[in-house]
């Protein structure tokens, strides 16, 4: 297909990445027929609407990886987008704090990655430097990232969706996809109680359901999605200004999640969290098990291999799940003034974590191309930060594939 003017595209998933991808296609090919589909009645219903709203600078990611490249470009693009449209955005900065000699060494490694990734302004600071930036924080040393920011990703998604619709894009919400059929004419999309509609190309940005839709399109089973929930607590009003920006721990390589941290939100609230523990429902924000999701986990050999190698860390995380006192204690190690703070739990987030058959967690973004379908198989944090750059990358890949 060499002429995109009458091409048809479907994008499945109206989170920030899917919506950004639909908008990117619309901007690149304004005469094409583009449809954005989501099973929920509202956009940004899952990961996009359940996160702490941080615009990551690119500290942690392997230099040269898709994550590193797209996080850096995505952060710049989303910053410009928010400022141009008057959407909430604050460059409040972040310190990544070490509490032990072992963490000092890890922090040095992260600093080297950050420099290799071209993160501007990063520096290592000592206890006095920490006090100068965050008077209520303590630590042996820290990595300071002055350009880390906070944003409202749901507001960004709503703006992108409005642009897409105003440019002629078609939106189908409350439209669950039950099958994808690759054929010689393109890729068919069958929604529940509807006939199959065939498009020249389909892009799947389905987050927590990405592996299931990928398999419908004929892609390999792996990586599979294993959901991990993260609890957040909102500190009482007296503690809203206890920090100027964000305070993070040094990640534990034995349990590859960021750990409990303190995050200022663009509405002025201060959050503590998230922890990371297995969720028995991919979209169960109240914690109730979902039979299909629970069975998928129980029957996944990779999960048991992962669990066997992470029992100690999982036990620590489970303690924080059961006890809010233990949960807050993680933050108090960095900000002792939180010792008497009260907090209120807010809606948890659920991370779509991709896992291989051997139980290893997939670190980089993963994109598969099968027939006339492009499948985003893994885009956890910094997926939201990278969203506009991921969209740009996906559409460029599709254009090359279709010779547009």
Model confidence at 136: pLDDT above 80: yes
- Residue 207 and residue 242 share a domain: no
- Residue 176 and residue 295 share a domain: no
H/E element, 17: helix 16-28
pLDDT average, residue stretch 246-250: 95
Who has greater pLDDT, 354 or 6?
354
Q: Kindly provide the residue ranges of all beta strands, DSSP E only, lying in 128-280, ordered along the sequence.
A: 141-145, 149-151, 170-172, 177-183, 186-191, 196-199, 201-204, 224-235, 246-249, 261-264, 270-273, 277-278
pLDDT band (50, 70, 90) for residue 317: low
* Proportion of the chain above pLDDT 90, given as a percent: 83
Residues in contact with 156: Cβ distance below 8 Å, sequence separation at least 6, in sequence order: 16, 78, 81, 82, 87, 387
Residue closest to 212 by CA, chosen among 25, 13, 43, 20: 13
pLDDT digits (tens, 9 = 90+) for 318-348: 555 556 677 788 899 999 999 989 999 888 8
- Residue 302 and residue 250 share a domain: yes
Residue 87: inside a domain = no
pLDDT band (50, 70, 90) for residue 79: very high
Residue 59: inside a domain = no
Domain of residue 13 covers 4-48+154-223+363-402
- Residue 173 and residue 40 share a domain: yes
Q: What is the C-alpha separation between 258 and 359, in angstroms, rounded?
A: 19
Instruction: Tell me whether the omega of the peptide bond preceding residue 274 falls within 30 degrees of 0, making it cis.
Output: yes
Who has greater pLDDT, 325 or 86?
86
CATH of residue 182? 3.50.50.60
Pairing of strands 373-378, 366-370: antiparallel
> What is the structure's pLDDT at 316?
62
Q: What is the C-alpha separation between 348 and 339, in angstroms, rounded?
A: 23
Residue 89: inside a domain = no
> What is the structure's pLDDT at 5?
57
pLDDT average, residue stretch 367-376: 97
11 strand-pairing partners: 36, 203
Model confidence at 92: pLDDT above 60: yes
> What is the structure's pLDDT at 315?
60
> What is the structure's pLDDT at 273?
84
In 134-198, alpha helices (H) = 153-166
CATH of residue 268? 3.30.9
pLDDT band (50, 70, 90) for residue 309: confident
Residue 257: inside a domain = yes
- Residue 343 and residue 382 share a domain: no
Cβ distance 43 to 14 under 8 Å?
yes
Q: What is the C-alpha separation between 368 and 121, in angstroms, rounded?
A: 35
- Residue 177 and residue 267 share a domain: no
Identify the domain boundary among 114, 146, 178: 146
Residues in contact with 8: Cβ distance below 8 Å, sequence separation at least 6, in sequence order: 32, 33, 34, 35, 186, 198, 199, 200, 201
Identify the domain boundary among 319, 334, 354: 354
Cα four-point dihedral sign 158, 159, 164, 167: positive
> What is the structure's pLDDT at 221?
97
Domain count of the chain?
A: 3
- Residue 218 and residue 120 share a domain: no
> What is the structure's pLDDT at 255?
65
> What is the structure's pLDDT at 184?
85
- Residue 185 and residue 197 share a domain: yes
- Residue 196 and residue 134 share a domain: no
- Residue 294 and residue 349 share a domain: yes
> What is the structure's pLDDT at 329?
84
Identify the domain boundary among 111, 129, 146: 146
Cβ distance 175 to 191 under 8 Å?
yes
Query: Which has the minimum average pLDDT: 21-35, 71-85, 272-286?
Result: 272-286
Please classify residue 280 by burial: count the beta carbons closer than 10 Å to its beta carbon, then call 0-12 exposed, 13-18 middle and 19+ buried.
middle
Residue closest to 386 by CA, chosen among 46, 53, 56, 125: 56
3-state helix, strand, coil split of the chain in percent (to 5) is: 35, 25, 40
Model confidence at 380: pLDDT above 70: yes
Q: Mean pLDDT for the chain?
A: 93
Q: What is the C-alpha separation between 331 and 81, in angstroms, rounded?
A: 32
Instruction: Give the end-to-end CA distance of the chain in Å, rounded to a whole number.
Output: 7
Residue 328: inside a domain = yes
> What is the structure's pLDDT at 60?
92
Residue 255: inside a domain = yes
pLDDT average, residue stretch 92-105: 97
Residue closest to 335 by CA, chosen among 268, 264, 251, 231: 264
pLDDT digits (tens, 9 = 90+) for 259-286: 788 999 999 999 998 888 899 999 999 9
Residue 258: inside a domain = yes
> What is the structure's pLDDT at 318?
55
Residue 336: inside a domain = yes
> What is the structure's pLDDT at 242?
96
How many H-runs (helices) and E-runs (strands) does the chain carry? 11, 21
- The total of other beta-carbon atoms located within 10 Å of residue 62's CB is 13
* Proportion of the chain above pLDDT 70, given as a percent: 94
> What is the structure's pLDDT at 284?
95
Q: Kindly provide the residue ranges of all beta strands, DSSP E only, lying in 15-88, ordered along the sequence.
A: 33-37, 54-55
- Residue 23 and residue 170 share a domain: yes
Token pair of 196, please? 């199959």
pLDDT average, residue stretch 227-231: 91
Cβ distance 20 to 160 under 8 Å?
yes
- Residue 132 and residue 43 share a domain: no
């Amino acid at each position: 297909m060499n002429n995109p003017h009458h091409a048809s595209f479907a994008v499945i998933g109206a989170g920030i990445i899917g919506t950004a991808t639909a908008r990117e296609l619309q901007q690149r090919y304004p005469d094409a027929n583009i449809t954005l589909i989501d099973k929920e009645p509202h956009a940004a219903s899952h990961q996009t609407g359940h996160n702490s709203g941080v615009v990551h600078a690119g500290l942690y990611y392997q230099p040269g990886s898709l994550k590193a490249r797209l996080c850096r470009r995505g952060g710049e693009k989303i910053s410009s987008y928010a400022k141009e449209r008057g959407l909430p955005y604050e460059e409040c900065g972040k310190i990544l704090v070490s509490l032990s000699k072992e963490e000092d060494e890890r922090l040095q490694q992260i600093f080297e990655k950050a420099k290799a990734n071209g993160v501007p302004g990063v520096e290592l600071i000592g206890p006095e430097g920490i006090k100068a930036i965050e008077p209520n924080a303590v630590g042996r040393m820290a990595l300071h990232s002055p350009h880390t920011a906070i944003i409202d990703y749901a507001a960004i998604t709503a703006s992108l969706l409005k642009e897409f619709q105003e440019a002629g894009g078609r939106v189908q919400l409350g439209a669950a996809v039950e099958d994808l059929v690759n054929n010689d004419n393109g890729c068919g999309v069958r929604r529940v109680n509807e006939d199959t509609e065939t498009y020249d190309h389909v892009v799947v940005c389905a987050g927590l359901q990405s592996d299931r839709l990928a398999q419908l399109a004929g892609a390999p089973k792996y990586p599979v999605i294993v959901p991990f929930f993260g609890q957040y607590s909102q500190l009482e009003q007296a503690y809203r200004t206890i920090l100027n920006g964000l305070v993070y721990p040094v990640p534990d390589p034995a349990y590859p999640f960021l750990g409990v941290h303190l995050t200022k939100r663009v509405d002025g609230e201060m959050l503590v969290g998230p922890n990371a523990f297995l969720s028995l429902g991919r979209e169960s924000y109240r914690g109730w098990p979902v039979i299909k999701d629970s069975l998928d986990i129980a029957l996944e050999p990779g999960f048991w291999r992962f669990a066997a190698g992470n029992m100690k860390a999982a036990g620590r995380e489970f303690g924080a799940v059961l006890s809010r006192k233990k949960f807050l204690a993680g933050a108090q190690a960095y900000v002792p003034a939180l010792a008497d703070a009260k907090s209120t739990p807010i809606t948890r987030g659920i991370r779509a974590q991709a896992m291989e058959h051997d139980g290893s967690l997939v670190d980089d973004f993963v994109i598969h191309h099968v027939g006339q379908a492009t499948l985003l198989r893994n885009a956890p944090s910094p997926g939201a930060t990278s969203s506009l750059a991921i969209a740009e990358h996906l559409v460029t890949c599709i254009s090359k594939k279709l010779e547009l």
